[in-house]
Amino acid sequence: MKFLIIMLLLFFSAPVSWAQMPEITSSCHCFKDRVYNPEKKFTADKYLLTTSFNSFIAANFQLSKSQIVMMKMKGG
């Protein structure tokens, strides 16, 4: 049951996060803007939201964050 819930959460969250990314590079899946810049206040928001979501899912379902990231990268 937990696996089904995880898969549903990842399924519904992945298209939104990928659709909102301004540019996707094939060589790297990492976020480029990870630090706070006072001139661009909201640049790191997508990174912070994604890492917070991954931490939340990992803590609630006893998975490692790396497993969550790998499932998202594989489209799961």
Supply φ then ψ for residue 37, to 5 degrees: -125, 115
Model pTM greater than 0.75? no
- Residue 31, pLDDT score: 66
- Residue 56, pLDDT score: 92
Tokens at residue 35, please? 């630090």
Task: For the chain, 76 residues long, give each residue's pLDDT as a single digit of tens.
Answer: 777 777 667 666 655 444 444 444 344 556 666 677 788 888 778 888 888 999 999 999 999 998 988 888 888 6
Domain ranges of the chain: 29-75
